[in-house]
Every structure is written in structure tokens, then in C-alpha cells.
Copies of this chain bind each other. A is one copy, B any other.
Amino acid sequence: MSQQTAYRTHHATDVTEALVGQKVTLAGWVDRRRDHGGVAFVDLRDTTGLVQVVIYDEEMARPLRSEFVVRVTGEVRLRPEGNENEHLATGRIEVVAEEIEILAKSDALPFQVSTALENESENKLPGEDVRLKYRYLDLRRPSMQRNIKLRSDMARAARKALDEMGFTEVETPTMIKSTPEGARDFLVPARLVPGSWYALPQSPQLLKQLLMVSGVERYYQIARCYRDEDFRADRQPEFTQLDMEMAFVDQEDVMAMAEKVIAEIWKAAGHEVQLPLPRITWQEAMDKYGSDKPDLRFGNPLIELTEFFKDTPFRVFQAEYVGAVLFKGGASTPRRQFDAWQEWAKQRGAKGLAYVSFAEDGELKGPVAKNLSDEERAGLMEAVGAEPGDAVFFAAGRRESAQTLLGAVRVELADRAGLLDPNKFAFTWVVDFPLFKSTDDPDDDDVAVGHSKWTSMHHPFTMPSKDWIDTFDQDPAHAMSDSYDIVCNGNEMGGGSVRIHRDDIQDRVLDVLGISKEEADEKFGFLLEAFKYGAPPHAGIALGWDRTAAILAGADSIRDVIAFPKAGGGRDPLTGAPAPISEAQRAETGVDYDPDDED
């Protein structure tokens, strides 16, 4: 970057040794100021980085404080020998100030944002509410600047890949009709049609399907989406997805396309992604990793012991499923730590977490050991692939619940062992999902779409897989779908499916979900109607853009890759939103409209 403007001739990091002896004008913030025997040193910070300004004139230096905005004119010179800073791009030069104009002052800061402090890890950041209240200061920190910049680079990379594949970017409306997608809508009263409301889209799903029917064969959009959920950690009421849809394609076409997009995004951050990405079926992911979004940065898969324990005298293990996760070297874990694991499991809704450890002499220890048969005790170490000094955690019960618990144990063990390297990216496709899931799973907090004992695993517009097209409604428990998730480091980065493009199939799916013809017509009759006029086969995918950015940035939270995120409960500590409105505003919204009041 080297755009000269009315306020500067150069950016900070443009000031290289090539400019020694020349006069430059710079503009930016006072990152830090130090005084040494009548000479002041100011680190001037702009969007490119830091440059050192030397001020010999005490009068000129006196008023300068942290985060003042200044314009400095001076001559570039080499730093005196021995004073170079190897950590800085501009570490071999400095600018001797001849003139300093204060463009804006700063009050005392609520917290320090200095680059120098951040780089030296001395920066004690305040709580997140304070960071969000003063987000404009928080964003000045180089790590946040990097995240914001990365997100911009990601978008450019994705668009480049999509452009090359012939995609058209289309903006879809955000004041739409409420449609059922598994969460609650945010609603907007329509002043001009009192008593009526718009909904903010949970995704452009139906609109992009309409675009396919419209003959826009390859669509994408970086789309704002809205879900009015009870805020769980790391969810935002408004979020972004990279939304893509293609006509005349099948699952393989979409996956190949998405892989190119992902590779280009990662390349923008300097990472090479090997294509094609690995795949795992949903069933295998559950069986081996206890998760439909397995973290493949490390191994240690679940071990199924249902068969092993089929004649067990231990009542807890007389279950539909028994499985285990190996805790390498875990035998030396103190008893109180194993107790803490029990607590950990209880917090996740489990009754506890059975374990056995294998002493160096091969003896089995732990409360469970004594409940097992001799045969089981003898064979266990081999069955779980343990060695003396290891331990093993068990879960038993309903297959999916037990596997999910073991999957969490697996990740927790890896986390404690420091195996979750944020600079390593383990992608996998998860494929072969069921079409439906039962609505009576107490552990599932998604809002069920429809009114039957079945709801959609993805959404109601997902195509049954070819083998199930004729029979999915006769056996919803086993019907499979043409859908796919892309997972990275244990996060669901995105997902998609082949969509239904025929109204007869759509009608049958809605029937399984217990959605009447009448309700369907009211809620998304426009889509069913569109399918009557030549809808092409189509399929698509969406990437959760905040999550993708957080993974690539190695950020702990998606809030660190969003310029102005909401805090808990949907509050914005910066602007105070949401806020009460005036009576006059309320009256205008029409929410208090009563048709009976009409003359």
C-alpha cells in the first residue's frame, strides 16, 4: 500500500532505507512514547504498522499522548548503530520530526491498545463487555486488525474461485416471509400493512432455490442470516454465510466446487489444502469419533465393546451400546482427577464416566474393575488396545448418546494433551446422512420442523438419496439423504444437500414431517408453485462464514472475527442496542393495529 493522500506521503511501513535522506509526511496514532534525556521517541502506528519518530524539540513532544492522532513531517535517517529493531519492518530507520500536527486528541484510555504492549504479551485485556463497549479501541490492536483483514482476504479468495467457476453473485431480499428452517425468526412489523410482518431470513435457502428455477444456474452470495435463538456461547443473532447453489449438478459436483473454494480461501492465508478432501460417512463418524463433526487432527478413535460385554455381569454395561476411549498414560492420574471427570460428564448430562486403569503390572484398577467378570478383566487391555500405564473411559446406554459422550471425552483428552493445534487444519466431508431424525431426542435442542415424530436432519428441502426416492416415506427411520457437511478441526464449517426439485417428492417429505397441504401452501406455497414450471435439478452448500474465519484465524471465538458482534443476550455494549423506542415510533410500526378499530 502506498497511496499518497492529503494527509500523508507514505504509510509507516513504506518508510524503508531507500528513503533515507528524504522528507516524508506520515499520519497515524501515537502507539507509544518514550523519553530519553530530552529526546522523545514516538512509535507512530497506521494500518500498515509502526515507524519510529524522533523528536528533539521538547515543546513539540510535550503534548503527545497515547492514541493521539498526528501528522508528522520529517527526514528519514538510519537508526544509530545498535539501535536497530529486528522485529520491526521499519526497524533500521527512523524519522526525525520537523513538524507535528495534532489531528485529534485522546482522553485517557479505558485499556491499552499499543502494538508494543500486545507484542510483548504485557497487554492485560479487560473483560469482553468492556472490549465491546470500546470496540473502536479493541479493533486497533494488531491481532484484531489481522482478523478483520483476513476476513476480507477470505471473501476475495472465495469470490475468485467462484468467478472462475462461472458463478453469478445475486443479492436476495432480507425482508421476506417467515419460513420454517428449524429456528425462530426475527420479525419486522410492516407499517404500510398494519398487522403484517416481514421475517428476516434464517438463510437464503428458498430464495436460492427460486434462483435455480429462474435459470441462474450458479449462484453465490455472502449472505447475512438471522436466527432468534436463546444465545448459546459463540452464536450471534445475525451471522454470515457463504451461500452457493448450482443447477444441473449432483452431490459430487457441489463437493468438488466447494473444495476449490475452500482451498482458495486457505491459500489466502498461506496454507495449502490437499484436494480432494477426505470423506467419512455419518455412521462411521459417529462410530469412530462419537460426533457428526469429528476432529481429525488426532486419532484415538472410539472402541466399540458392545460385543465384548455381551454377557457382562455388570448391569451398567448391559446396554444397547458399550464403548470406550483410551486415555494414553492415564493410569497415573490421581483419583481426584478421575472424580473431576465424573463431574465433567455430569455437566454434559451423563450419569457419570466409568473408567478402568491398567497398572504397570497389568492389574485393573478403578471402581468399575471389580464389577467385571474374570474373562472381561483378562481380555480388556487387548480389546481396547491399551498398554500398562494407560486408562480407559467407558460409556454405555443408547448408542448415539453414549457415542456422543465418548466423542467429547476423546476431544477433551486431546485438548488436555495439547493436541488441538490451531495451525493444523484437518478437513473432512461427512456424507450419507439420514434424511430424518426422531423428534423425541431430549438431547436435541433444535426446533423441530413439522408436527410428526420425524423432523428433517438438515431441512425439509433435502433430496432423499436415489435408493430411497420411492420408499423414504415408508421407512423414515432408515431413509438416507443426499447431503454432506464439511468439517474442520471438529467444527461444522458448512453443509449442503441435493435439493428436491419436484413437487411430488416435496409433498411426500412434508407429509412425513406432518405438515399439512394447507400449512405448506401458506408457508412456502410459492416454492411448491415454482416447482410446477420446470425446476432444474439443483444442489448447494453454505459455509458458516464467521466460523470459517475463526478457524482460519485461530480465534477462540467468532466474536474475534466480527467487527461489531453482539454480546450475550443479543446486546451491543457499544451502541446500547436493543433499546426502547418512543410511543410515536411504536404507533407507526402498526404493531398495535386492531382491525376492529377500523371505521
Question: Are B169 and A137 closer than 8 Å at their CB atoms?
Answer: no
In the complex, how many angstroms separate the beta carbon of A2 from the nearest chain B beta carbon?
Answer: 9
> A residues 160-208 with Cβ under 8 Å of B?
163, 165-166, 168-178, 184-193, 195-200, 207
Q: A97-124: contact bitstring with B at CB < 8 Å (1 yes, 0 no)? A: 0000001111101000000000000000
Copy number of this protein in the oligomer? Answer: 2
Q: A5-B253, A140-B215, A502-B104 are in contact. Are A156 and B156 (CB under 8 A)?
A: no
Q: How far is the CA of A106 from the CA of B529 in the complex (A)?
A: 11
Cα–Cα, bound, A585→B188 (Å): 12
Given A27-B536, A231-B192: A152 touches B136 (CB 8 Å cut-off): no
Bound state CA distance, A252 and B3, in angstroms? Answer: 13
A202 CB to nearest chain B CB (Å): 14
List the B residue with the shortest CB-CB distance to A173.
Answer: B564
Question: Is A6 an interface residue, CB under 8 A from the partner?
Answer: yes
A6 to chain B, nearest CB (A): 4
A408 beta carbon closer than 8 Å to chain B = no
Give the nearest-CB partner of A107 in chain B: B532
A585 to B579, CA, bound (A): 21
Q: Which of A292-300, A316-324, A566-574 interfaces with chain B? A: A566-574
Stretch from A216-224, A337-345, A423-431, A457-465 forming part of the interface with B = A216-224
Assembled-state Cα–Cα distance A68/B533 (Å): 7
Mark contacts of A1-32 with chain B using CB atoms, 8 A cut-off: 1 yes-contact digit, 0 otherwise.
10101111000000000000000000111000
A407 within 8 A of B: no
Number of residues in A with C-beta < 8 Å to the partner?
Answer: 121
User: Is A238 positioned at the interface, with any CB of B under 8 Å from its CB?
Assistant: yes
Q: Is residue A301 within 8 Å, beta carbon to beta carbon, of the partner chain? A: no
Report B-chain residues with C-beta under 8 Å of the C-beta of A468: none
Cβ contact within 8 Å between B563 and A177:
no
- Check if A575 is an interface residue, CB within 8 A of chain B: yes
Choose among A172, A248, A532, A580 the residue with the greatest number of B CB atoms under 10 Å from its CB.
Answer: A248
A47-B218, A214-B563 known, 7 other contacts, Cβ within 8 Å: A27-B536, A170-B563, A173-B572, A175-B238, A177-B576, A196-B579, A198-B577
What are 29 contact pairs spanning A and B, CB under 8 A? Answer: A7-B250, A27-B536, A29-B215, A46-B217, A46-B248, A67-B534, A68-B534, A69-B536, A103-B536, A106-B534, A140-B214, A145-B216, A148-B170, A152-B168, A152-B170, A156-B163, A173-B563, A173-B572, A175-B570, A184-B588, A187-B188, A192-B230, A197-B581, A198-B578, A214-B563, A216-B563, A224-B224, A526-B575, A526-B576
Interface of A with B (CB < 8 Å)? 1, 3, 5-8, 27-29, 45-47, 67-69, 103-107, 109, 134-137, 139-140, 145, 148-149, 151-152, 155-156, 159, 163, 165-166, 168-178, 184-193, 195-200, 207, 210-211, 213-218, 222, 224, 226, 228, 230-231, 237-238, 240, 246, 248-250, 252-253, 501-502, 526, 530-537, 562-566, 569-572, 574-581, 585, 588-589, 591
CB-based closest 8 A-B pairs: A139-B214, A190-B578, A196-B578, A106-B534, A6-B250, A177-B577, A7-B248, A67-B534
